[in-house]
Amino acid sequence: MNTKTLNDIGEGGIIQLIQEKGLSRLPSRVKKGIGDDCAVLETAGDTLLLVTTDTLIEEIHFTAKTLPPEALGWKALAVNISDIAAMGGTPQTAFLSIGIKPETEVSFIDSFMAGFQALARKTDIVLAGGDTVESPSSAVIAITLLGDCLPERLVYRSGARVGDNIWVTGPLGNAAAGLFLLLNKKASELSGYESLIAAHQKPIPRLKAGKALGKSGLAHAMIDVSDGIAKDLGHICEESRTGALLQATSIPMSDELLRLGPQVEKSPLEWALRGGEDYELLFTASPANEEKVVSLTTKVSGRPASKIGTITQEDGIWLDTDKGKEPLEPGGYVHFSN
Ligand SMILES: [Mg+2]
């Protein structure tokens, strides 16, 4: 009998185990199963159906202190929209399941739904169903989001080519620094960092940029930054069978992040590389299209994407710093690691 625990095999091991119990060959109507930001399914029409699902657990992903109910409603939907954006798709329909303690105040649901619907209205998403159940302790929020995309506009993680530039749509590290401010009593007394806290609590999924990049055909591979670029770029490289070299000096960071770092003896670059939850889009594109990427991203998001590195033949992810080239370890939050 196998007495190993889930802690022993880790999140990757669990996914592998689940995958092994499924079909070894997917039917052709499933264009993409496990292993990208969304599953991709054929429909009877011209468009493909995108499906993504995300679960937030109290005490793991949020506490009452880090995410008040309204922000929780917003963020729970935002992280799913971000996965549809990362494929170049358009979100359409959401299903919301909530597990919650019976003694929770009704105002929790009121505020949660205000946050959820504020973002749903902005993005034309319709809530079409779900489930509500009693939970003995922690609150559990699970959202499934459906979207669509024309086949020629879809961007997978697997399309990066050697020599591609690596781009990111906006500054990195803000969400991690915001979480630090929320959790650290002394740091929480510092003023002027509202934008970092907002980045953690109410991330703005880069839907317009994702759609425009998919439509333009400029992006060869794309993923959203949920676990930190060190890890998320790793997924692109793994699926595309390439490596990557990042330039430390090119990583975009906000003025607030650069100011906070030294005040609390933290490295802004460390937050930017491994912090996660930024929900910017990380994508690769041919160096011949550099100007087109800059003008398109400026047009749709008011700021140009930042070129942060190159896709390489050599395996692994490397960071070029003033001290030379060093391997970039993933870091970030790891589920099932004690
Ligand atoms: Mg994702």
Tens-digit pLDDT profile for residues 222-237: 999 999 999 999 999 9
Mean pLDDT computed over 40-56: 96
Fold of the domain built from segment(s) 46-149? 60s Ribosomal Protein L30; Chain: A; (3.30.1330)
- Centre of ligand 1 to C-alpha 2, Å, is 31
- Confidence at residue 336, expressed as pLDDT on a 0 to 100 scale: 60
Q: How many angstroms does the Cα of residue 197 sit away from the middle of ligand 1?
A: 21
CA within 13 Å, CB half, 291:
1
Q: Parse the chain into domains and list their residue ranges.
A: 46-149, 157-327
| Tens-place pLDDT, residues 144-203 | 999 999 999 999 999 999 999 999 999 999 999 999 999 998 888 889 999 999 999 999
Count, residues in the chain: 338
Per-residue model confidence (pLDDT) at position 1: 62
Task: Provide the CATH number for the domain formed by 157-327 in this structure.
Answer: 3.90.650.10
pLDDT of 272 above 80: yes
How many CA atoms does the CB half-sphere of 55 hold within 13 Å? 10
Q: How far is the CA of 90 from the centre of ligand 1 (A)?
A: 15
Query: From ligand 1's centre to the CA of 110, what distance in Å?
Result: 28
**Is the Cβ–Cβ distance between 91 and 59 less than 8 Å?**
no
Rounded to the nearest whole angstrom, what is the distance from the C-alpha of residue 157 to the centroid of ligand 1? Answer: 10
Structure token pair of residue 218? 């400029």
Which tokens in the block code for residue 139? Answer: 């609150």
Percent of the chain exceeding pLDDT 90 equals 84
Please tell me the distance between residue 80's alpha carbon and the centre of ligand 1 in angstroms: 8
**Following DSSP, what letter does each residue of 8-32 receive, concatenated?**
HHHHHHHHHHHHHHS-SS--TTEEE
- CA–chain centroid gap for 105, Å, is 30
**Residue type present at position 305:** A
Find residue 283's DSSP bridge partners.
Answer: 167, 222
Centre of ligand 1 to C-alpha 38, Å, is 8
Q: Does the pLDDT at position 338 exceed 60? A: no
Question: Any residues with CB less than 8 A from the CB of 317 and at least 6 apart, and which?
Answer: 230, 233, 234, 237, 243, 244, 245, 246, 327, 328
Looking at residue 300, what is its pLDDT? 96
Q: How far is the CA of 276 from the centre of ligand 1 (A)?
A: 11
